[in-house]
Amino acid sequence: MLTDNKMLEIANKYVSQIGQEINIELIVFSETKKSYGNVYGYIAKDSRKHRLAGNGPFLVKNDAGIVIQFGTSDDVEYYLDGYEDGTWEPSTNGVWDPDHN
C-alpha cells in the first residue's frame, strides 16, 4: 500500500509531465481519499493567464501507483461510482504508469 505522500508524489509527477507537454506550469489542487487510492485535480499555476480544457480528475491507485484519468463530461462521482461497481473502465490512453513514463 502506498502512503498518501507517495501518491501525491506520483500525482505531481503525472501533472508535471502534462505541463511539460503543453508548456504550462500545473499544480495539483485537491485530494479525495478512497480505500483504493486518492483522487486529484489540477489547474494551471497561473489560472488568470491560462485556462485549461480536458483537465479531468484522476485516481492514483494505492496498490501500484497507476494513474487512472477520469473524463470531464460528468462529475467525478459518476466515474468513481462506475469504477467501484465495475461498469466504467478507462481507455488504454487513460492509464499512466509512473514506472514506465
What does each C-alpha distance from 47 to 5, 44, 90 come to in angstroms?
25, 5, 28
Quick check: 38 and 25 in contact, CB under 8 A? Answer: no
Domain assignment of residue 61, given as a range: 4-100
Residue 91: pLDDT band (50, 70, 90) is confident
Quick check: 39 and 80 in contact, CB under 8 A? Answer: yes
Instruction: Please state, in angstroms and rounded to a whole number, the distance separating the CA atoms of residues 46 and 101.
Output: 26
The tens digit of pLDDT for each residue in 31-72 reads 899 999 999 998 887 766 666 655 789 999 999 999 999 988
The reported pTM is 0.87
Instruction: Tell whether the model's pLDDT for residue 97 goes beyond 80.
Output: yes
Instruction: Please state, in angstroms and rounded to a whole number, the distance separating the CA atoms of residues 21 and 24.
Output: 8
Domains: count for the chain: 1
